[in-house]
Every structure is written in structure tokens, then in C-alpha cells.
Chain A
Amino acid sequence: MADSALQEMKTGWTKVLQALEAFGDMALFCGQVLATVPKKLPPGTFIPICYRVGVQSVPVVALTGLFIGMVLAVQAHAQFQALGLATQLGHIINVSVVRELGPVLAATMLAGRVGSAIAAELGTMKVTEQIDALTCLGMDPIHYLALPRFLACVLLIPTLTILANFMGVIGGSLICTWIYHIDPYHYWQNARGHISLWDLTTGLIKPLFFGGAIALIACQRGFHSRAGAEGVGKAATSAFVLSFISILVLDFFLGLFLNNLHRFLWPSFTVRAFGPE
């Protein structure tokens, strides 16, 4: 009995140590990538990655945004109609899309599309010794491989979020005005008065962090991929899972921080989604 309890404690302690080690590895890797940011980008690396991260993600992000807006309209319409507030739908759809759903769901899609691809690509390079070959040819693999991917994600994921937000607003308006026959004039009149510059700003600050987290996690998973097809597969899966969790955690803490920042900067205004009326 005492032996099994001791064994369980040992197993638990080993798991804690492994978690701490993994956290330390991640922190060290993030530090190494951020230390390369002031350096000049390796020639010929940035544009192809921007194309893959940005241009090739446009259709999937546009579709995601469009359907977020459409689903919101369908779900909210019945409740708002019952209260006689159907013309207010534009307000709730647009605020929800711009402040929360657009950034979070676009980042989630990109964690799946871009993050997994980065982890799989770097993982394959690791197991086929291409990363070692880069080192032997006098390159710093973190500078050569991770920095362009990090910068591409940080710069382009907010840009793609703008697209997702735009498509979400369009999707919501299409359903409300075409399917539910809400008068477009009243729909847009109510919608436009309720999105502040602060809403737009917070909706774009968050994706900067989401983009950074997706790139750092994906690169770290790729660089630490284990050998074989299974190792690369696990690297890609864990890149997505960790990125998704990071997006949700970051969203919560950034939401709290930005709301408090708003209260601090403009005490006389309230933040609608979380603040008191």
C-alpha cells in the first residue's frame, strides 16, 4: 500500500518535472526567436512564407468569417424578433464579430492551417537532418527558419482578421436583410453607431498576440519533433492543440487587460461587453 502510494507520488513528481522542463524549453525557444527579431531577415525567405501564410489563407479565412456572421444572425434572430428588437441585430452581430468571434475563430483556423503546416514542415526538416545541414553551412536555423515564420504570422494574422471581420459583418447583414427581411437602412443605422474605434483596436491587438503564439508554438514543436512519420504527425497535432489553448487563454487575459486599460485611460466611458451599464 505504502509502496504504491510512493510510486504514484514519484510518477506525479516526474510528470511535474516534465511539464516544467517543457515550459522551460518553450520559454528558452521564445527567447531565442525574439532575440533574432532585430537581425536582418535572411534574403529570399520572407516573401514565400508570407504567400503561404497570408495569400493562401484568404479563402479559408473569408469563408470562416462569412459563416460566423451568418450563424450569429440565424441564432440571434429568433430572440431579438420576439423582443421586437430585430433591427438591433446588426449591433450585436458586428460587436460580437469584431471584438471576439472574428479574431478568435480566424486565429483558430490559422492555427490549424498555418501552425500545423509550419510544425510539419520544420519537423520533416529536423528528422531528415536538413536543420543540421543548415547549421553545418554556417546558418542559425532559428534565424533562418523561425524568424521569417514568426514575423509573417505576427504581421499577417491581424490582416487576415480584418478580412474575417469584414466577411462576418457582410454575412450577418446578408442573412438579416435578405432572409429575415430586416430593413437595411435601420439595420445599418443601428449597427454602425455601436462599434467604437476601441472595439476595432482591441480586435486587432489580440491577433498580434495570437499570431506570435501560433508561430512560436509551431516552430518549437517542429524544431523538437521526434524521429519518423509518427514524430512529425505528433508535432503537427500538438502545435494545433497548444496553439488553440494559447489562443483561448490569451483571449481571456488580453480581454481583461484591455478592458482595464480602457477604464484607466477613459474612466468616464464604459466598455459594453464586460463593463457596467
Chain B
Amino acid sequence: MSGDKPWLRLEKVSLTLAGHRVLHNISLDIPRGQTLAIIGESGCGKTVLLKTLIALMQPSEGKVLFDGRDMNDLPPDLLQKQRLRIGFLFQGAALFDSMTVFENIAFGLAAHGRHSEEEIRARVAQRLQEVGLNSAVLEKKPAELSGGMRKRIGLARALILNPEVMLYDEPTTGLDPIMTDVINQLILQTRKAHPVTSIVVTHEMKTVHRVADRVVLLHPLARLKSLEPQILFDGTPAELEACPDERVGQFIRGEARERLIELAMQENGES
């Protein structure tokens, strides 16, 4: 662990979406400089948890504290300032498709602060180099790029404002093994080059072992017994293998087992 002071804190966070409870009573302390991987089955609320950290979603109950301030209790201008301290790499990169690559990466700098044209160009070139791309892509539109390139440009855009926290939403999903390794390497490089706290939502165990200091495994609420906590595991990647909970072992080994029967029963019930 890289520090002891809680930099990001979730206090008994619960969240309900369209009448369905997705998160229940989640408490987490994330110290400064740590790289935390959040893993779990599809639909367990990993992305929702990530979005509550940057106040894109508001918890129904509980608090999200960043640097001691409740994100959901801030006036709009202060919330905006807090958000600028956090970078977010979206699952599909979420590049603005009406803009060129240059305009996408420069967006944060152009929108905030008084930076000269030369300064913006230099910062964009630097970030582009950091993510392993050359200036030939600058005038292209996102639709002309591959998935891996879009992710890397999304990372460059998120890093341009020097965030103190980086949130990665399934950064390697849909990429080939080589590009997955490139993105993992970039997450490590980013941490090395900038003192960021990183939270990585992923399904990939390889990514967890490669980049994370700590792993949290969330379980879908619908499949928990009553009074059971939603976080099934919280520890280091090395401790993950030794976890006695059968469901944790099942997830990390990728074994469907009784889930196949449950899914078949669900399908039969629906039809």
C-alpha cells in the first residue's frame, strides 16, 4: 500500500437505478497513490461505483468523499473543480466524434485556463507521445481509428489536465492480447510518470495482476444472501488466490458451474 491517508472514501454508499438496487452499503477507503482494481461479474455495479466516485451518479444513501469533501454536497463550481482533479477513461473511450483527435485531447486545456496555442500544441504532442501515438493521427476523426487507438487517445485526453486520480472503466475490454498489454503498460507508465491514484474496473485477471496493488471483488446484489456484504474480497492480488470464498475462486478461474443451470432456469422461466 502506498499511503495511509484516505484520499477517496465511500461511506455506506447505496444506489438504486430504475427501482433496482445496484450498490448496497459499500464502504471503501482508497489511499493516495494506490492502484485499486475493482472486479466482479457483469451487472454487479462496478461501472456504477466508478461513476459515483466522480459524481456522474448520485448515491441514494451514503457519502463519497474526495480529499475530505463530499462530492454530492458541493456547489456546482466547486464540484467542477473537484472533477477536474479526476481523469476518466471510458469503456468505449467516449471521444467527441464531431472533433478531431487534436481537438479531443486539447479539449480540457482549451476549455479551462488561459493557455497559448503553442502551449496547447506542445502539451497535446507530449501526451500523444506518452500513449505511444505519433502526430499523424492528430487531424483524424475518432471514427477513423481502431479501438486500441481510441482508448489511448481517451487516456491522453484524460491525462492532459494532470489529474490526481485516474478512473479506468474496463480499459482492455474488446482489445486483442497485444493491445491489452499495451494498455496495461500505459496504466503502469502513467502511475510512474504522474503520482496518480488509480481505480481500474476490469474483468481481466491479467490486468489485475499486472497493475493493481489491491483488489476488490463486487458481487451482484440479486445473488447475495441477505445481510451478506456486497464486497466479497478486499486484499492484494496475491491474496486473491488463497481466498476461501468459493465464489471468488470461481470468478478468478472463470468457471461457470451452477451459473449455467441458473441461467437456463431463468431462460425457461422467461419463456
**CB proximity to A under 8 Å, residues B68-87:** 76, 80-81, 83-84, 86-87
Chain B residues near A60: list those with CB within 8 A. Answer: none
Task: Say yes or no: is B97 at the interface (Cβ < 8 Å to chain A).
Answer: yes
Residues in B with CB closer than 8 Å to A128 are: 92, 94, 97
A133 and B112: CB pair below 8 A?
no
Nearest-CB distance from A232 to chain B (Å)? 13
A21 within 8 A of B: no
- Does B88 sit within 8 A of A, measured CB to CB? yes
Bound Cα distance from A231 to B80, whole angstroms = 29
Answer whether A138 and B94 are a contact pair too, CB < 8 Å, given A132-B51, A132-B56, A133-B88: no
Chain A's interface: helix, strand, loop or mixed, by majority? Answer: loop
Q: Which residues of B contact A138 (CB under 8 A)?
A: 80-81, 83-84, 108, 111-112
A139→B111 contact, CB < 8 A: yes
- Please tell me if the beta carbons of B94 and A129 are within 8 angstroms of each other in the complex: yes
CB distance from A174 to the nearest CB of B (A): 40
Digitize B46-83: 1 where CB-to-A-CB distance is under 8 Å, 0 elsewhere.
Answer: 00000100101000000000000000000010001101
Shortest A69–chain B CB gap in Å is: 37
**Quick check: A136 and B56 within 8 Å, CB to CB?**
yes
Which of A42, A130, A134, A136 has its CB near the most chain B CB atoms (within 10 A)? A136
Given known contacts A130-B96, A130-B97, A136 and B86 CB-to-CB distance under 8 angstroms = yes
Contact (Cβ within 8 A) A137 B92: no
Residues on the B chain within 8 Å of A133, using CB:
88, 90, 94-96
**B108, A129: Cβ atoms under 8 Å?**
no
A260 close to B (CB within 8 Å): no
User: How far is the CB of A144 from the nearest CB of chain B, in Å?
Assistant: 9
Task: Check if A140 is an interface residue, CB within 8 A of chain B.
Answer: yes
Tell me if A201 is interfacial: C-beta within 8 Å of chain B.
no
Q: Which residues of B contact A43 (CB under 8 A)?
A: 110
Q: A132 contacts B111, CB within 8 Å? A: no
- Within 8 Å by CB of A132, from B90, B110, B158, lies B90
Contact-residue size bin, chain B (C-beta under 8 Å from the other chain):
20 to 34
Is A135 in the interface zone, CB < 8 Å from B? yes
CB distance from B231 to the nearest CB of A (A): 25
Smallest CB separation, B115 vs chain A (Å)? 13
Complex: chain B residue closest to A43, CB-CB? B110
Cross-chain contact A129 with B112 (CB below 8 angstroms): no
Is there a chain A Cβ closer than 8 Å to B107's Cβ?
yes
Contacts of B108 in A (CB 8 A): 137-138
Q: Quick one: which of A42, A129, A137 has the most chain B CB within 10 A?
A: A137
Most buried by B among A42, A43, A138: A138
Q: Which of B81, B91, B97, B107 contacts A137 (CB 8 A)?
A: B107
Q: Which residues of A contact B94 (CB under 8 A)?
A: 128-130, 132-133
CB distance from B17 to the nearest CB of A (A): 12
In the bound complex, how far is the Cα of B76 from the Cα of A239, in angstroms?
29
Give A130's nearest chain B residue, CB to CB. B94
Can you name the residue of chain B whose Cβ is closest to the Cβ of A127? B92
B143 to chain A, nearest CB (A): 11
Interface string of B147-169 (1 = CB under 8 A from A): 00000000001100100000000
Q: Are B90 and A135 in contact (CB under 8 A)?
A: no
Is there an interface contact between B76 and A135, defined as CB atoms closer than 8 Å?
no
The CA of A42 and the CA of B80, in the complex, are separated in Å by: 16
Chain A residues closer than 8 Å to B97, beta-carbon distance: 128, 130
Give bound CA distance, A2 to B129, whole Å: 72
Q: How far is the CA of A135 from the CA of B82 in the complex (A)?
A: 11
Cα A133 to Cα B160 with chains together (Å):
14
What residues of B have a CB within 8 angstroms of the CB of A134 in the complex?
Answer: 96
Identity of the chain B residue whose Cβ is nearest the Cβ of A136 in the assembled complex: B88
A42 to B54, CA, bound (A): 23
> Please, what's the 1-or-0 string for A113-142, where 1 marks a CB less than 8 Å from any CB in chain B?
000000000000000111011111111100
With a cutoff of 8 Å between Cβ atoms, the chain A residues found around residue B86 in the complex are 136
Q: Provide the bound-state CA to CA distance between A137 and B112, in Å.
A: 9
- A18 nearest CB across to chain B (Å): 13
State in angstroms the CA–CA spacing of A137 and B81 once bound together: 10
CA distance A132 to B112 in the complex (A): 17
- Residues of chain A contacted by B87 (CB below 8 angstroms): 136
Complex Cα distance A134/B112, Å?
12
Q: Can you add 8 more A-B contacts, CB < 8 Å, to A133-B90, A133-B94?
A: A128-B92, A132-B51, A132-B56, A133-B96, A134-B96, A137-B108, A138-B84, A138-B112
Show 13 residue pairs from A and B whose CB-CB distance is below 8 angstroms, ordered by the A residue.
A128-B92, A128-B97, A129-B91, A130-B94, A132-B88, A133-B88, A133-B96, A134-B96, A135-B56, A136-B86, A136-B158, A137-B84, A138-B83
